[in-house]
Amino acid sequence: MDYPRPELENAVNFLEAASLSASFRSSPRPRKPLKVVIAGAGLAGLSTAKYLADAGHKPLLLEARDVLGGKVAAWKDDDGDWYETGLHIFFGAYPNVQNLFGELGINDRLQWKEHSMIFAMPNKPGEFSRFDFPEVLPAPINGIWAILKNNEMLTWPEKVKFAIGLLPAMIGGQAYVEAQDGLSVTQWMRKQGIPDRVTDEVFIAMSKALNFINPDELSMQCILIALNRFLQEKHGSKMAFLDGNPPERLCMPIVDHMESLGGEVRLNSRIKKIELNDDGTVKNFVLSGGDIIEGDAYVFATPVDILKLLLPEIWRDIPYFKRLEKLVGVPVINVHIWFDRKLKNTYDHLLFSRSPLLSVYADMSVTCKEYYNLNQSMLELVFAPAEEWISRSDSEIIDATMKELAKLFPDEISADQSKAKILKYHVVKTPRSVYKTIPNCEPCRPLQRSPVEGFYLAGDYTKQKYLASMEGAVLSGKLCAQSIVQDYELLVSLGQKGLAAASL
């Protein structure tokens, strides 16, 4: 059963995001719309294009593959079933994403679940422990209540030590949070006197869910940002599933909106080279098929690893670009398994597996309308950390996954399939997904406006306060579009100079 959409509109962060969205629609119409060429049709590129179109400009969005979405891409198999790049959850604490859904008129495409976080119990196979957030209580009391009422994962002394350890973050605010970037989760917990068991019980699962790596690698800044949002906003940790596949249910409405305002999208348009003028600014994008694409401004909204491959040689020693060397995408694997029966030991919700090989999972035949099936379950699982598994065969990954599922479903699944049998599976490997949020990465994250006039970046790795997430990608696109709108006069003058040089 889905739950009503929570009241998000009065949250400070929602209002701030709404104000930024409105600024594009209300900005003065340009006397000459800019043609902005954007590489990458993931959420960052789509967001950049959408808000530039809202401001009266003409974005041209180039996508290398034949599918929209980037890290939220999905494909349909021969049976008509969808399989996705990742298991995507939409939080109440995603103000720019929630505004985007509202602006597109598709709020009804989010299926909200009860306000809980549900963890498997490895020492009690088949059992779960819940953190339930009471609807009647405001933040942060609802979150504190959820933690205090759970006595299965943490003891009272551990809860007290954890609360005391968190006090500096609650008092110090954003400045304190950003200052913790140099410490891993494990290091910070020990520095604050929080028992290792708290990390083992809660933060291994949380680290893997947030960035697909373990707490001994993840920057504590990432955890504190999530905790701040979850504790400060009443509905911040409330989760929703999209009601179907992301390319059609989320990406296409953005494209339709942008095209209705004069924008354009081209699939199968892979960029081969960034060609430069004599002064080091961008002359054009050269596509792998030989086409040359020119514009008034250029945006790279691809993953950071692709940008680094295509960076012109003369840019590489510029500090802004040189710092990107530390930002590296983390590998992740998304697994889909269709079973011959309906599994009973599951919820209509996201579940934290607390498995050494798996992160989060969900029975999509229950949680997602397009994938509903009354008779058979389809589990979608995030296999992480994936560093040691990304090069292994799909069958090896499925065998390892089934061994873990046998612990989560001891009465229904066995590794040898003597119980529930696999009808089919899909394994989607992403060798370089979101950037790996290890300590001391924050100073390396670039602003959306580059030092090269007329060249901009968008992506969750760029500087914005929501780190590596769908919310971060959407916000980065808005900030990129804002920079281009602010630079309008400069970009017009650069175009005029280019025309004068061409005439000469």
Summarize pLDDT for 309-319 with one digit per residue, the tens.
999 999 999 99
Q: Is the pLDDT of residue 456 over 90?
A: yes
Q: Where are the beta strands (DSSP E) in 127-215?
A: 128-132
Q: Is the pLDDT of residue 191 over 50?
A: yes
What's residue 127's pLDDT?
A: 95
Q: Is the pLDDT of residue 367 over 70?
A: yes
Task: Tell me the per-residue pLDDT of 383-415, one tens digit each, with 9 for 90 and over.
Answer: 999 999 999 999 999 999 999 999 999 999 999
Q: Is the pLDDT of residue 499 over 80?
A: no
Residue 10 CB partners (closer than 8 Å, separation 6+): none
Q: Pairing between strand 58-62 and 264-266? A: parallel
What's residue 462's pLDDT?
A: 98
- Classify each residue of 114-153 as buried b or exposed e, where b means 16 or more C-beta atoms within 10 Å of its C-beta: bbbbbbbbbeeeeebbbbebeeeeebbebbebbbeebeeb
Task: Tell me the per-residue pLDDT of 216-260, one tens digit each, with 9 for 90 and over.
Answer: 999 999 999 998 888 889 999 999 999 999 999 999 999 999 999
Of the chain, the percentage scoring pLDDT greater than 90 comes to 91
- Average per-residue pLDDT in the chain? 95
Q: Which of 45, 21, 35, 51 minimizes the C-alpha distance to 458?
A: 45
Residue 444 CB partners (closer than 8 Å, separation 6+): 323, 324, 325, 326, 327
Q: Is the pLDDT of residue 503 over 60?
A: no
Task: Tell me the per-residue pLDDT of 135-144, one tens digit each, with 9 for 90 and over.
Answer: 999 998 999 8
Give the DSSP H or E segment for 286. strand 282-287
Token readout for 398 is 């499925």
Q: Which of 93, 123, 129 minimizes the C-alpha distance to 351?
A: 129
Given strand 358-363, what is the order of strands in its sheet?
Answer: 128-132, 116-120, 351-352, 358-363, 378-383, 332-339, 422-430
Distance of CA 110 to the CA centre of its chain: 16
What's residue 501's pLDDT?
A: 55
Residue 500 CB partners (closer than 8 Å, separation 6+): none
Q: Is the pLDDT of residue 425 over 60?
A: yes
DSSP string, 58-125: EEEEE-SSSSSBGGG-EEE-TTS-EEESS---EETT-HHHHHHHHHHT-GGGEEE--SEEEEE-TTST
Q: Across the chain, how many H-helices and E-strands are there?
A: 17, 20
- What mean pLDDT is predicted for residues 81-87? 97
What's residue 498's pLDDT?
A: 59
Confidence of residue 166 (pLDDT cuts 50, 70, 90): confident
What's residue 504's pLDDT?
A: 41
First to last CA, the chain: 68
Task: Tell me the per-residue pLDDT of 25-37, one tens digit each, with 9 for 90 and over.
Answer: 999 999 999 999 9
The rounded distance, in Å, linking the Cα atoms of 395 and 168 is 47
Residues in the chain: 504
